[in-house]
Structure 1
Amino acid sequence: MSALLGLVLLTAPFVTLPSPAFPADPTLAALGSDPAQLRLFCYSTRCGDEEWRRMRSPTESPIVPDSGARRGPALPRSTPWIGLHVSARSRESTASYSNDWRIGTRYRVEAVRNGPTRVGVQLGAGYRLAPLSDDGIHMPGPVMRGVVEIGHRITPRAEWNQRIQFETGQGTTFVKQSVGLDVSLWPAWTLESDFTIRHDEYGRSGSESAESSLQLRRRF
């Protein structure tokens, strides 16, 4: 009898008993086949079991977490409602200004600013206090001013630009047109060329002047 009992005790760990039958529900069957799914998720900053991550000694190679490791559900508010992004700069702007020779306000819009070509338009109204202090008409009084700026990048190192500025008031009109080509020679050195024409109109008569410049500029 004792020999038979000893044989039973020795063979018991190697005997596989049939598993109980599960209902036809696939959810219950999945839970029964993988009891680990019944474990509650850990919401602390450091889980107590850490099944797939363990402390290692300095002599061990780094442990790469298993890509198939289960992750708990996302915490409330862990997913942002709106992704962070850099706000786009507005194409339109308005400003008021005052100096020793003119006060006024201006409105600017960047009609084209994407790609190699850019076009900007600026319009404004003001009052000229002192003549011959900057580009404009030669007498004080209410004035209308405007600027059209056009630029085009020909190559990564060369850019062509044109600027047309006008001011009118008191029966007088002033127009200034500048055309230039900027070439980048080194990261901080630029060769700038400029050709300017000024036109002053007094009623049916007027005068014109022109000047040009070529300069090498270093930016600090």
Structure 2
Amino acid sequence: MLGLALLGGPFVTLPTPAFGGEPALIALASDPAQMRLPCYSTRCGDEEWRLALGAPEEARVTGAPGRKPLQLPGSQRYIGLSAPAVPREHRANYSNDWRIGTRYGVQALRDGPTQLGLQFGAGYRLAPLYDDGVNQAGPIFRGAVNFDRRFGERAQWSQRLEFETGRRGDTFVKQKVALDVNLWPDWTLETDFSIRHDSNGGGGSETAESSLELRRRF
């Protein structure tokens, strides 16, 4: 009889005197889930358990929808760590009213106060006496050497050597030297000296010019 009573106990519902026999109290006692306090927060206390058990991997990291994603250590991005490399070599094709051709250049020295650049190319001169070069039209070979040196924060020395040769042996050479000095924040003293040599079929001619300027930036 005792065994039958124990087996049949879970299926028999009897009023409990502790609750006074009220149907509402009996229903509340029979369902413990109704005794939980309501959650008025944006994230309930058991939300992390639900994320850990049933949510996808992405939701476990970012949190509930509408919330700010969690910042994990090492996920922050830092500014100024990118240093894209600038090529030392450059190639270009050009054309104008007096010359067409191609050029190749390389920066042998570009870091620090001293800079050195080389440039070579071949082309065809369409019309003479339009720019620095030989006086005869035809195929040509050109080149240039650029040298810059900075002295402190105020002075800079620049030197450029250009040459061009033609099909008959004509040669043109130009050397330009400049010295720029910053006197005040808006004032600069610029000096320029140029020498031109043109073989002109073996006869040759030389010219020189210089300038001294005081410039103010507005």
Q: TM-score, normalised by structure 2?
A: 0.64
Which amino acid is 2:175 matched to? Q
Cα–Cα, structure 1 residues 219 and 96, in superposed 2: closer, same or farther, change >3 Å?
Answer: farther
Gaps of 5+ in 2: 1-47, 53-59
Deviation, 1:112, is 0.1
Aligned counterpart, 1:208: 206
Q: Deviations over 1:144-171 (max 9, x none)?
A: 0001000100121000110000000121
SS at match of 1:205: coil
Cα–Cα, structure 1 residues 212 and 84, in superposed 2: closer, same or farther, change >3 Å?
Answer: same
SS at match of 2:139: strand
Which amino acid is 2:111 matched to? N
Q: Deviations over 1:55-84 (max 9, x none)?
A: xxxxxxxxxxxxxxxx98569xx478xx96
Q: Distance in 2 between matches of 1:219 and 1:179?
A: 22
Bigger fraction of residues in helix: 2
Residue 217 of structure 1 pairs with residue 192 of structure 2:
no
SS at match of 2:204: strand
Residue 43 of structure 1 pairs with residue 62 of structure 2:
yes
Deviation, 1:89, is 1.4
Q: Distance in 1 between matches of 2:97 and 2:71?
A: 68
Cα–Cα, structure 1 residues 101 and 73, in superposed 2: closer, same or farther, change >3 Å?
Answer: closer
Cα–Cα, structure 1 residues 197 and 79, in superposed 2: closer, same or farther, change >3 Å?
Answer: same
Q: Is the 8 A contact 2:170 2:200 kept in 1?
A: yes
Cα–Cα, structure 1 residues 130 and 204, in superposed 2: closer, same or farther, change >3 Å?
Answer: closer
Residue 158 of structure 1 pairs with residue 177 of structure 2:
no
* 2:188 paired residue among 180, 190, 211: 190
Q: Distance in 2 between matches of 1:207 and 1:72?
A: 74
Q: Percent identity?
A: 58
Cα–Cα, structure 1 residues 110 and 42, in superposed 2: closer, same or farther, change >3 Å?
Answer: closer
Aligned counterpart, 2:179: 181
Aligned counterpart, 1:129: 126
Aligned counterpart, 1:53: none
Q: Distance in 1 between matches of 2:68 and 2:129?
A: 74
Cα–Cα, structure 1 residues 181 and 79, in superposed 2: closer, same or farther, change >3 Å?
Answer: same
Calculate the aligned-residue CA RMSD, in Å: 2.7
Q: Distance in 1 between matches of 2:110 and 2:118?
A: 12
Larger radius of gyration: 2
Which amino acid is 1:175 matched to? V
Which amino acid is 1:169 matched to? G
Q: Distance in 1 between matches of 2:71 and 2:137?
A: 75
Aligned counterpart, 1:92: 89
Q: TM-score, normalised by structure 1?
A: 0.63
Q: Deviations over 1:113-138 (max 9, x none)?
A: 11110000000111001100000000
Aligned counterpart, 2:165: 168
Q: Distance in 2 between matches of 1:72 and 1:161?
A: 52
Aligned counterpart, 1:119: 116
Q: Is the 8 A contact 2:135 2:200 kept in 1?
A: no
